[in-house]
């Protein structure tokens, strides 16, 4: 049943972490359920373990639109000419929901977020004609941020030329400095390599983003990882086309990688002991907070 205020659909790509995925979606609905209609639940074609999502799909009921892509793209480059083929394009993370939603807003999520407040309502109040709202920039990796020249609020004001940027990168080397040379366009170095709308939990204004993005526009699909990280290419292109984005610190409302010992959910996918530990914590949380039995 459609809820009165339901103006948002959710896109979540699930790769492992069934119990953390459950915490993500159940805590989201607990605090922001009034805004949300459908949840596009994309179970990646390849999984780190035998899929265990059915308990969650049963819990969510008719809110869920389930999809399993034909291809496993992981963190590989998205080839532009292949985007013309729907089967391939719909295998890029979040893209199936991007094309299928009929709502004005799409909330994009990682599957390891714990919500503590109504972030969806807060995002909606800050949209104000922007193309997206969320935390802008991986500033902890960025030379310009280290040099105190830029952050998520001021990234539009710091637009160095190529030589100036090279100097900053040399004087304040970032964690991924070796990758920057192949990412920076000499005649168009802005936004900087670490600039993006972080996909952990971001809201997209589909009335602005959809017409500009493949398959309707020329901008690379949001979920591509063609420049350094997911969404960097999309963010780069749309900024240079005049789109605007609102930086919003979601920390008071949500915690990404909330159970991780290293505060980096990606690490657990390569460390089975860490993976099992994180899942055990999430499972216990579901028992205590939501009364779920397994």
Asked if residue 121 has pLDDT above 80, the reply is: yes
Helix residue spans in 128-220 (DSSP H): 143-146, 162-171, 177-180, 206-212
Interval 62-73 mean pLDDT: 96
pLDDT tens for 191-226 read: 999 999 999 999 999 999 999 999 999 999 999 998
pLDDT of residue 272: 86
State yes or no: pLDDT of 264 exceeds 80.
no
pLDDT surpassing 70 at residue 178: yes
CA-nearest of 135, 136, 130, 119 to 8 is 119
Q: pLDDT tier at 80 (50, 70, 90 boundaries)? A: confident
How do the domains of the chain map onto residue ranges?
8-135+196-289, 139-180
Q: Rounded to whole angstroms, how far apart are CA atoms 30 and 118?
A: 9
Residue 81's pLDDT is 85
- Rounded to an integer, the average pLDDT of 222-233 is 93
The per-residue pLDDT of the chain, averaged, comes to 94
Q: In what helix (H) or strand (E) does residue 123 lie, and over which residues does it extend?
A: helix 119-127
Fold of domain 8-135+196-289: Spore Coat Polysaccharide Biosynthesis Protein SpsA; Chain A (3.90.550)
> Is the confidence at residue 261, as pLDDT, over 80?
no
Question: What percent of the chain shows pLDDT beyond 90?
Answer: 86
Mean pLDDT, rounded, for 175-189 = 91
Angle between helices 18-32 and 119-127 (to 10 degrees): 60
Strand ranges for the chain from DSSP E: 8-14, 36-43, 64-67, 105-109, 113-115, 132-134, 201-205, 245-247, 254-256
Q: Which residue has the higher pLDDT, 274 or 213?
A: 213
268 confidence band (pLDDT: 50, 70, 90):
low
pLDDT over 80 at 271, yes or no = no
Q: pLDDT-based confidence at 1, cuts 50/70/90?
A: very low
């Amino acid at each position: 049943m459609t809820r009165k205020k339901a103006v948002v659909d959710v896109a979540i790509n699930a790769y492992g972490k069934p119990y953390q995925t459950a915490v993500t979606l159940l805590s989201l609905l607990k605090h922001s359920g009034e805004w949300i209609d459908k949840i596009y639940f994309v179970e990646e074609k390849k999984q780190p373990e035998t899929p265990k999502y059915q308990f969650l799909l049963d819990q969510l009921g008719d809110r869920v639109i389930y999809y399993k892509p034909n291809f496993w793209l992981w963190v590989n480059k998205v080839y532009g000419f292949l985007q013309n083929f729907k089967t391939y394009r719909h295998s890029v993370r979040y893209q199936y929901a991007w094309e299928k939603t009929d709502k004005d807003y799409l909330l994009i999520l990682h599957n390891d977020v714990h919500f503590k407040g109504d972030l969806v309502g807060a995002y909606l109040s800050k949209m104000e004609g922007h193309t997206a709202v969320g935390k802008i920039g991986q500033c902890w990796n960025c030379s310009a941020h280290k040099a105190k020249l830029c952050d998520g609020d001021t990234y539009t004001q710091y637009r160095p030329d190529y030589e100036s940027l090279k100097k900053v990168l040399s004087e304040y080397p970032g964690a991924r400095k070796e990758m920057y040379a192949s990412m920076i366009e000499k005649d168009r170095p802005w936004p900087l390599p670490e600039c993006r709308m972080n996909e952990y939990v971001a809201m997209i204004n589909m009335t602005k983003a959809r017409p500009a993005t493949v398959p309707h526009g020329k901008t690379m699909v949001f979920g591509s990882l063609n420049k350094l990280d997911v969404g960097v290419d999309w963010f780069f292109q749309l900024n240079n086309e005049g789109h605007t984005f609102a930086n919003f610190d979601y920390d008071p409302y949500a915690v990404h990688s909330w159970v991780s010992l290293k505060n980096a959910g990606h690490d657990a996918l390569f460390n089975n002991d860490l993976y099992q530990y994180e899942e055990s914590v999430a499972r216990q949380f579901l028992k205590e907070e939501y009364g779920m039995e397994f």
